[in-house]
Amino acid sequence: MLDGLSSNATVAKIRSLHGKMLTKENYHEMLTRRNVPEIAEYLSSTPRYKQVLKDIDPITVHRGFLETLLEKDNFDTYIRLCQFQQLDKVAF
C-alpha cells in the first residue's frame, strides 16, 4: 500500500509530531499544578497544544471542555495523517 517516498514522508511527519509530544518532565510539571486553570495555562504554553488552546480563557475553562478540546485535536491529527496517506480514498 505504501511506496517508499510516501512512507518516508509519513515517517518524517510523524517524527515531527512526536517531537512536540509532552515529555515525562511535562507531566511532572503538570502534577505540581493545583487546579484546571493552571494546567490549561501550562498546556497553552507547550508547542503541541499552543494553537489548540489559543482562544480559551484558562481561568474559566471547565475540565470536561479542556479534555474535549485535547481529544478533538488528537483525532484531527489522526485524520490529517490518514488524508496525507490518502487512506480516505481506500475502501474500508
Q: Under a CB-based contact definition with an 8 Å cutoff, are residues 49 and 70 in contact?
A: yes
pLDDT in the model for residue 66:
95
pLDDT in tens, the chain (92 residues): 445 556 788 888 888 888 888 999 999 999 999 999 999 999 999 999 999 999 999 999 999 999 999 999 999 999 888 888 887 777 76
pLDDT in the model for residue 19:
80
> Taking the domains of the chain in order of start, what are their residue ranges?
4-89
- Rounded to whole angstroms, the Cα distance separating 81 from 2 reads 13
List alpha helices for the chain, DSSP H.
4-19, 24-31, 36-43, 63-84
Q: What are the phi and psi torsion angles at 16 (to 5°)? A: -65, -45
Residue 54 Cα distances to 2, 29, 65, angstroms: 36, 20, 14
pLDDT in the model for residue 4:
55
